[in-house]
């Protein structure tokens, strides 16, 4: 996969591009490695944001997630996250593609399970990773709702 890196990593990555990239990869082991590589591209989260308030409960790994609402009209959410697990960092990258830059109503109505199915995450992640992934989604959606009110 290393010789295809330029195909898989672009500045303009979208969730649809990611799904297309997954389809190009042969098996789940290649996809798993790709997810971990995606995690390596995340910008580091400041240590000051790695506090209990930003910690995601329900994850086996340690995960911090901080959402912020910008001042656009309509307001959009962006978030920063980090984990002590490389695969979880890759899952955070995927969630970033799904939710960052979306309006609060878009986040509330987003069908993440459909995307997880298209990526095969619903079939190939361990139960504990799936639980953690869904916990991260719940926290993103909860922070969006809290920010809207």
In the chain, what are the domain boundaries? 2-148
Q: Looking at residues 133-143, what average pLDDT do you find?
A: 92
Pair 77, 143: CB distance under 8 Å: yes
The fold of the 2-148 domain, in CATH, is Sufe protein. Chain: A (3.90.1010)
Task: Encode pLDDT of 19-44 as tens digits.
Answer: 999 999 878 999 999 999 999 998 88
Strands of 70-118 (E only): list them. 76-83, 102-103
Question: What's the whole-number average pLDDT of the chain?
Answer: 87
User: Does the pLDDT of residue 7 top 70, yes or no?
Assistant: no
Pair 97, 42: CB distance under 8 Å: no
Which residues neighbour 119 within 8 Å (Cβ) at sequence distance 6 or greater? 18, 19, 22, 31, 94
Pair 104, 74: CB distance under 8 Å: yes
Could you give the percent of the chain with pLDDT greater than 70? 91
Cα separation values, 63 from 55, 85, 94, 101, 117, Å:
6, 8, 14, 21, 23
User: What φ, ψ does residue 71 adopt, rounded to 5°?
Assistant: -100, 20
Q: Which amino acids are annotated catalytic?
A: 59
Strands 102-103 and 76-83: antiparallel
User: Does the pLDDT of residue 12 top 80, yes or no?
Assistant: no
d(CA 69, CA 100): 10
- Residue 149 pLDDT class (50, 70, 90 cuts): low
Q: Looking at residues 77-91, what average pLDDT do you find?
A: 92
Looking at residue 11, what is its pLDDT?
55
Could you give the percent of the chain with pLDDT greater than 90? 63
Length, in residues, of the chain: 149
Instruction: Give the pair of three-digit tokens for residue 93.
Output: 């990258």
d(CA 7, CA 52): 38
């Amino acid at each position: 996969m290393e010789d295809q890196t330029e195909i898989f990593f672009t500045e303009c990555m979208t969730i649809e591009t990611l799904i297309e990239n997954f389809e190009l990869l042969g098996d789940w082991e290649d996809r798993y490695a790709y997810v971990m590589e995606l995690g390596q591209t995340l910008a580091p989260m400041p240590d000051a944001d790695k506090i209990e308030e930003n910690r995601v409960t329900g994850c086996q790994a340690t995960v911090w997630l901080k959402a912020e609402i910008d001042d656009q009209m309509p307001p959009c959410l962006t978030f920063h996250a980090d984990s002590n697990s490389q695969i979880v960092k890759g899952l955070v990258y995927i969630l970033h593609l799904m939710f960052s830059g979306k309006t609060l109503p878009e986040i509330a109505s987003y069908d993440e399970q459909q995307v997880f199915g298209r990526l095969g995450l619903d079939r190939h992640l361990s139960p504990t990773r799936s639980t953690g992934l869904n916990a991260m989604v719940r926290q993103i959606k909860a922070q969006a709702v809290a920010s809207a009110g």
